Amino acid sequence: MTDGPRVLKPRCESDALVGKKDFRERLARWFRRHARDYPWRRTHDPYQVLVSEVMLQQTQIATVLGKGYYTRFLESFPDVGSLAAADDAALLKAWEGLGYYRRARMLRDTARAVIERHDGSFPADLDALLALPGVGRYTAGALRAFAFGLPAVLVDGNVSRVLARLLDFPDPVDGAAGQKQIWQWARELADDNQPRVHHAALMELGQTICRPGLPDCLTCPVAAFCRTREPAALPVKGRKVAITAVDEHALWLRDAAGRVLMQHESGKRRTGLWKLPVRDAGEISHLPVVAEHVYAITRYRVRLRVHDGRAPGAWVQPEAGEAWVDPDGVAGLAMAAPFRRVLEGLLADL
């Protein structure tokens, strides 16, 4: 370790792949003592497992749990049949706040395929799972391990980091070759006798102890197997994501009855959601700003600026796909979080 606090680490007592039986046992013992209690760990229902896995793909556990998204979604759509039958408005409203709305539609596509191809019962076979829309090798592995208790391999960001450190892997983990190697190690280390425990334990180790940045090696249950002497330098990432700053210009416009002009989205990203009408910068950026909010999405840092559509010099009219909505009806519309936030602020100031 060259920078920052020193991390004391026990000497490696064996090669992780040679000592894998011992490794699995220590990991499982630690997990049984320290496992956190998540609702999706109390069920073996493949539908509920799938919902949790899809939600957690791009959203933190604390958000999914703390804001009640998981519970509310299952209250709205308690089984695969109810999700398969969901219309766009109900689906997007139940997903509101989680972002990446494509996930919700894909989840419904999966549910529909389970109904059509498997009479509503999830298959346990790996190839049949992989043939479902929206189910890749990670999700298929999670369903096999957590729902069916069957041998599986699954690697997420946490597992990648843990394995890269355990095996002192010097190559980028986000490239094709790096991922191939990490999946290979995950396969070799997997405990087929207790897949539920093993995979949940490896993920939890990454979430709580072998964290990004400086891990807590002193309390690590598998430190004796760990080869790296510089855990904070791992995993190596090859891809640098450049963040692009962009401005988004929206309108705050009310009619004589106090209704708010809203726009129904038709673009790829948030189709079906509602938002304040967005216009080209040249059309409205000269108008006074009444609200502003900065948010991040994929590789963009977006500054959402809301302009006063009734300011002197404004000449804006409703366009196709836009509608006047009573303020009381706004809460019932599915809306992306940044627009919900600025709109609630504006309505509160009325």
Enzyme catalytic residues: 53
Identify which of residues 1 and 316 has a Cβ nearer to ligand SF4 in the complex: 1
As measured in angstroms, the least distance from the Cβ of 195 to ligand SF4 is: 20
Selected binder of ligand SF4 within 222, 273, 304, 336 (CB under 6 A) = 222
The one-letter amino acid at 235:
P
CB neighbour list of residue 170: distance below 8 Å, 6 or more residues apart: 236
Q: Near ligand SF4 by CB under 6 A, which window of 149-157, 222-230, 267-275, 297-305?
A: 222-230
Selected binder of ligand SF4 within 158, 160, 207, 228 (CB under 6 A) = 228
Question: What's the rounded Cα separation, in Å, for the pair 128 and 122?
Answer: 9
Counting contacts by CB under 6 A, is residue 209 touching ligand SF4? yes
Identify which of residues 162 and 261 has a Cβ nearer to ligand SF4 in the complex: 162
Mark residues 231-250: x for contact with ligand SF4 by CB under 6 A, - for none: x-------------------
Q: How far is CA 302 from CA 143, 244, 251, 305, in A?
A: 35, 8, 16, 9
Q: Near ligand SF4 by CB under 6 A, which window of 49-57, 91-99, 110-118, 217-225?
A: 217-225
Identify which of residues 213 and 313 has a Cβ nearer to ligand SF4 in the complex: 213
Q: Near ligand SF4 by CB under 6 A, which window of 142-150, 221-229, 240-248, 307-315?
A: 221-229
Q: How far is CA 63 from CA 5, 59, 60, 290, in A?
A: 31, 7, 5, 29
* Residue 168, burial from CB neighbour count under 10 angstroms (0-12, 13-18, 19+): middle
Selected binder of ligand SF4 within 55, 154, 197, 226 (CB under 6 A) = 226
Mark residues 133-162: x for contact with ligand SF4 by CB under 6 A, - for none: -----------------------------x
Counting contacts by CB under 6 A, is residue 46 touching ligand SF4? no
Question: What's the rounded Cα separation, in Å, for the pair 95 and 74?
Answer: 11
Q: How far is CA 51 from CA 32, 69, 206, 212, in A?
A: 24, 10, 21, 25
Identify which of residues 121 and 219 has a Cβ nearer to ligand SF4 in the complex: 219
- Relative orientation angle of helices 102-118 and 88-95, to the nearest 10 degrees: 120
Phi/psi at 153 (5° precision): -130, 130
CB neighbour list of residue 199: distance below 8 Å, 6 or more residues apart: 141, 142, 145, 146, 152, 154, 190
Chain positions contacting ligand SF4, by CB under 6 A: 9, 162, 165-166, 209-210, 215, 217, 220, 222-223, 226, 228, 231
